[in-house]
Amino acid sequence: MLHRALDDSFSPEVRHRVTLLTAGRTAANGCFRFAAPFLAVIAHGNGTSLAGAGVALAVGELSGLLSPLNGEIVERLQRRTAMTLGLIGVGVGTVLAASSVHPAMLAAALVVISQSKMMFDLGLGAWISDRVPYATRSRVMGLTETSWAGGLLLGVTAMGLVTATTNWRVGYAVGAVAVLTMAIAIHRGVAPDAGPHQREHRAEPGRIDRHRLLLMAGGMLCLMAASQALFVTFGSWLLDSFAFSPATLSAVTFGMGFAELTASVTSARRTDSWGKERSAAAGAAIMVPAGIGLALWHGHLAIGLPLLVLAVGAFEFAIVSAIPLGTTLVPGSPARGMALMFTAGTFGRALASIPATRWYAQHGMGWPAVMCAVLATGTVAAMLRLRALGRP
């Protein structure tokens, strides 16, 4: 259980609830992440092309521009309420996705899933920030971020295997049941805040450092766009170039999830001591040669697939290391700060979805891989500059 990774310096509430909250986020991430690797399968079921489904995915990502509004809402809610409502929304959106018969309906469903998951994520991040000081925050956030890997390792893999034996609509339905079950469990298992919010480790309201905010936004935009260039194309690459089936594609997502899990655990253990900006820069730096190598050798499965897994693991280490930085962007309002960071990141994913899928359709996997390497370089530069500026 995850609480064993936290010593007595963390509050009993944090230690006793970290596993439950991570399980809830795992279910939400499984529903959220299912579309990208199975985009070609979903596109066929909706009677559209991969590029058309890529547009629907981009619309869902563009809804991330609403994240600041989401952050304002979360700051006015009980943290438990925000997390519960977020999971219910993910369940509703997943049902809509399973029922979609047109790219426009799929896009609407992905918007609901995206913004509902954002509400849960912001509620969770704020809940942690209220209870854990900045110096040790990466430990707890790193543990809860294993849910990103768990969403792929457990959620997407299970939904993919269901898809292989039935169809993708049933796969989505399984995800909806899981996330709604976790909504009930979290509402029952997490206590409401003692006051408007428990402010044990909240910074006093202060002035926003716009330079830091712009650097963080630019770094996250590039990092998320770099990963998206691979996530929206790797499933089609394996299906088209190596005749993978949905079942074998699920096996690949399992392996990628394991790489992400390793990266999340490493971040939880090391990022606080190595430095959050330095760790994020290191993860992004590894993505650069991995992307270049994939661009050069994407025709060779034995070389290309390990490079893809390496890039995915490096991205996970970078993003998990960077998330605690977002809690400090708006002094006294961790949800608002994280919302601004996620807005930039989701905008980056939206910007990458359309060109990556179109370049793949026209030229194969090479250009999306180059896109990943170039964008990751931007993240390295932004994180190193943030580190030079020092603590806010």
Whether residue 196 is contained in a domain is answered as no
Binning pLDDT at 50, 70 and 90, where does residue 309 land? very high
Whether residue 76 is contained in a domain is answered as yes
Whether residue 3 is contained in a domain is answered as no
**Residue 305: predicted pLDDT:** 92
Structural domain total, the chain: 1
DSSP string for 8-51 = TTS-HHHHHHHHHHHHHHHHHHHHHHSTTTTHHHHHHHTT--HH
The residue that leads in pLDDT, 204 or 246, is 246
Enter the tokens of residue 373. 């390497």
**Rounded to two decimals, what is the model's pTM?**
0.79
pLDDT in tens, 145-191: 889 888 888 898 899 889 889 899 999 999 999 999 999 999 999 98
Q: Phi/psi at 4 (nearest 5 deg)?
A: -70, -20
**Residue 279: predicted pLDDT:** 95
What's the whole-number average pLDDT of the chain?
88
Domain CATH number, residue 69: 1.20.1250.20
| Type of residue found at 16 | H
* Pick from 351, 70, 47, 84: nearest CA to 220: 351
Question: Residue range 263-281: average pLDDT?
Answer: 91
Question: Residue range 116-122: average pLDDT?
Answer: 93
Is the pLDDT reported for residue 200 higher than 60?
no
**Residue 23: predicted pLDDT:** 95
Binning pLDDT at 50, 70 and 90, where does residue 211 land? confident
Structural domain range at position 150: 9-191+202-389
CA–CA separation, 369 and 301 (whole Å): 14
Whether residue 2 is contained in a domain is answered as no
Question: Residue range 268-276: average pLDDT?
Answer: 90
Whether residue 78 is contained in a domain is answered as yes
**Residue 197: predicted pLDDT:** 54
Whether residue 382 is contained in a domain is answered as yes
